[in-house]
């Protein structure tokens, strides 16, 4: 019985180190005894030219508690109300009872795929977090898709893609217009 940690390689076949059965080199476990073949599970080391280029997300300032959130959409400023929790989305034209705290209808929200309750913005420990509210068309923060219900830190200068509506985030002092 072969006791080596890695199976013996013979062309495109290997010998199972547990039962000595000859098996194809691309299988994960021996069909004869069920032994997990280590060689088939090793991760291939990527060469430098195969490594994906990582995009660096912009890093902005973390807000201070007295700052407000301002959305910059298509060159227009939208100052958000001061609140510990805000829902951002679009009003339903057929309903008057269900409205988000921040309505993006003036920014072509329906055509851009904004859900009625698309994201939430929450102050927590002097920081602002954004979370997708299981929207139909998703939310991206600096090019990275948000997982529904998972809060991510929001920074000055960040870019949100709410459906297909691009929003630049800015923090402003309460005293400044």
CATH class of 67-173: mainly beta
DSSP character string of 107-134: GTTTTTT--TT-EEEEEETTEEEEEE-S
Residues near 63 by Cβ (< 8 Å), separated by ≥ 6?
A: 69, 126, 127, 128, 154, 155, 156, 171
pLDDT tens digit sequence for 128-143: 999 999 999 999 999 9
pLDDT tens digit sequence for 69-79: 999 999 999 99
Mean pLDDT of 50-64: 56
**Predicted confidence (pLDDT) at residue 6 exceeds the cutoff of 80:** no
* Per-residue confidence (pLDDT) for residue 175, from 0 to 100: 46
DSSP character string of 10-65: ETTEEE-TTT--EEETT-SB-TTT-PBPHHHHPPPPPPGGGSPPPPPPP--PPPPT
In the chain, where the domains are located: 8-46, 67-173
pTM listed for this prediction: 0.63
Closest to 16 (Cα-Cα) out of 28, 87, 65, 85: 28
Element (H, E) at 170: strand 165-173
- Residue with the larger pLDDT of the pair 56 and 165: 165
Closest to 133 (Cα-Cα) out of 80, 89, 70: 89
């Amino acid at each position: 019985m072969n006791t080596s940690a890695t199976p013996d390689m013979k062309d495109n076949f290997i010998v199972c180190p547990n039962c000595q059965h000859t098996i194809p080199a691309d299988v994960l476990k021996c069909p004869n005894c069920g032994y997990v073949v280590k060689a088939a599970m090793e991760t291939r080391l990527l060469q430098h030219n195969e490594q994906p280029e990582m995009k660096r997300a912009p890093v902005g300032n973390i807000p201070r508690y007295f700052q407000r959130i301002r959305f910059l959409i298509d060159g227009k400023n939208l100052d958000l109300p001061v609140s510990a929790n805000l829902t951002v989305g679009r009003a339903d034209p057929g309903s008057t009872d269900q409205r988000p705290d921040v309505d993006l209808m003036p920014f072509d929200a329906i055509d851009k795929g904004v859900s009625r309750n698309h994201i939430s913005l929450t102050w927590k420990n002097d920081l602002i977090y954004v979370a997708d509210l299981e929207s139909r068309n998703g939310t991206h923060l600096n090019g990275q898709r948000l997982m529904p219900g998972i809060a991510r830190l929001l920074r000055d200068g960040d870019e949100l893609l709410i459906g297909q509506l691009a929003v630049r985030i800015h923090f402003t002092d309460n005293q400044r217009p």
